[in-house]
């Protein structure tokens, strides 16, 4: 069973439209992240979200982007007016502690295609 579920798995949208990507962590964690990966390129950090507030954001995360945890469980990434260059895989991630080690578990991802 996946620890982090993302919906939808694939979203096709027209340029200029708003999209909302959703992430549902199975267990209760405080730290969440959004990353994106443009086809053939590296995974890039977008934003971290701690205790229901944005903790850090990258240069990519401009005013077009927003994150929320509207109901205490779902974790959403909204892109207000999509551009062609927003086409990418979007991953949410959570921090997971294993004894004295920790890691980051990624969700299955949402493939966003802007046409």
CA–CA dist 66, 24 (Å, integer)? 17
Between residue 91 and residue 110, which ones bind another protein under the rule CB under 8 A? 91, 95, 101-109
Smallest gap from Cβ 16 to another protein, in A, equals 27
Q: What is the CA radius of gyration of the chain?
A: 14
**Candidates 18-26, 54-62, 65-73, 78-86 — which segment interacts with another protein by CB under 8 A?**
54-62
Residue 91: name the closest of 71, 73, 77, 72 by CA: 77
Q: What is the CB neighbour count within 10 angstroms for residue 33?
A: 22
Q: Say whether residue 35 binds another protein (CB under 8 A).
A: yes
Residues found near another protein in the complex (CB under 8 A) = 33, 35, 41-45, 48, 50, 55-56, 58, 89, 91, 95, 101-109
């Amino acid at each position: 069973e996946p620890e982090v579920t993302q919906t939808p798995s694939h979203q096709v949208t027209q340029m200029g439209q708003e999209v909302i990507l959703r992430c549902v962590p199975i267990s209760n964690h405080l730290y969440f992240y959004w990353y994106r990966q443009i086809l053939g390129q590296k995974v890039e950090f977008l934003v971290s979200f701690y205790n229901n507030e944005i903790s850090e954001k990258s240069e990519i995360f401009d005013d077009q982007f927003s994150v929320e945890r509207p109901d205490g469980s779902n974790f959403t990434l909204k892109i207000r007016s999509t551009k062609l260059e927003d086409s990418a895989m979007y991953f949410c991630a959570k921090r997971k502690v294993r004894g004295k080690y920790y890691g980051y578990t990624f969700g299955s991802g949402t493939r966003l295609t802007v046409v």
